[in-house]
Chain A
Amino acid sequence: MEEWWYRSASGARIALRRRQHSASCRELAVRCPRLRLRSLSAATSAAWLAAYGLFVLTENSMVLSAAIIITLVGLIIYLHFVKIDQESLLVIGSLGIQVTSSYASGKESTTFIEMSQVKDVVINEAIHMQKVIYYLCILLQDPGDPQGVSEVVPLFQSSKPRLDCLIVVYKSCQEILEQRKTAPQSS
């Protein structure tokens, strides 16, 4: 297992881990930076100070309890639905590609794409907000047209690695995808 450190598109440090399970099976995982204690305390203090200011203005103590409940519920929702801890890509040569996102609360969401549907894994550039970013994506085969692309599945959406990390992932995936052409065709 190898691990390298890179930077994401926004400048945060991310780690890329590569494991080779067998000649045709590889797992690549990108780990995002964890939730920092100082940003959490800063957000909580700001919210509670604002609520205390509102309490001083309105003399209504419900504002304080509402602020506490909203902060707690908001933190739980953020950890469970928004904050992604690790995104991983498992490429199995003859079977397919599995994409997993694990959230900070421990929830994992996986998507599996069968190998016959996969046309290629490429690095694409597109306009995102006010920047142009490189991102890795899986091109899905169009069943009617052998040259056509029916769908584009972007990968590593929340960690957004930069081009140097994407090239390493791209080369690893291409080594396995090339085996498809040399392997005997199965009906």
Chain B
Amino acid sequence: ENSPSPLPERAIYGFALFLGSWFGFMLYLIWAYVPETWLFSLGLTYWPQKYWAVALPVYLLVAIGIGYILLFGINMMRTAPLNSTDTVTDNYAKKQQQKKFQEEAIPALTDIPISEVNRMFFLPEK
């Protein structure tokens, strides 16, 4: 049903987007460069101020730059502090059920409690 192969509908969507984006770009260039008097003489009086032809790209680029810093900051804020139980366990580990041990079978995947992990790693003498 969902396959990434090329289909006739997808070709049509792609071509329509291609034409639409070229048309939008030409419209933006005309709005930015053609003098206002020429546009008025054609009858197009209700277009936005040309100030926005420069302001919107600047807003967009500054937003992208701030977005990098903001994403880094949000990541740092969302990491659990050292004194939270999220560093030790979570909802899925608390509710897990212990499956019975079967001979010759791969053991089921479970979360090992941190006390046991510590005993395994740090207690045996080298």
Contacts and interface: CB of A to CB of B under 8 A. Distances in A.
A135 B88 CA distance: 12
Contacts of A124: 87-88, 114
B16 interface: no
Interface of A: 119-120, 122-124, 126-129, 135, 137, 139, 147-154, 157, 167, 170-171, 174
Contact of B80 (A120, A126, A148, A167): A126
Interface stretch (B1-9, B36-44, B58-66, B115-123): B115-123
A157 B82 contact: yes
A153 B80 CA distance: 14
B122 A152 contact: no
A170 B85 contact: no
B112 interface: no
B84 interface: yes
Contacts of B82: 126, 128, 135, 137, 152, 154, 157
Contacts of A139: 88, 114-115
A122 B114 contact: yes
A129 B115 CA distance: 25
Contacts of B123: 171, 174
Interface string B102-114: 0000000000011
A32 B16 CA distance: 68
Interface residues of B, number: 18
A157 B118 CA distance: 20
B88 A171 contact: no
Interface in B70-126: 76, 79-80, 82-85, 87-89, 94, 113-115, 118-119, 122-123
Nearest to B94: A148
Contact of A129 (B76, B84, B85, B122): B76
B84 A123 contact: no
Contacts of A120: 114-115, 118
A124 B122 CA distance: 12
A170 B122 contact: yes
Given A122-B114, A122-B118, A170-B118, A152 B84 contact: yes
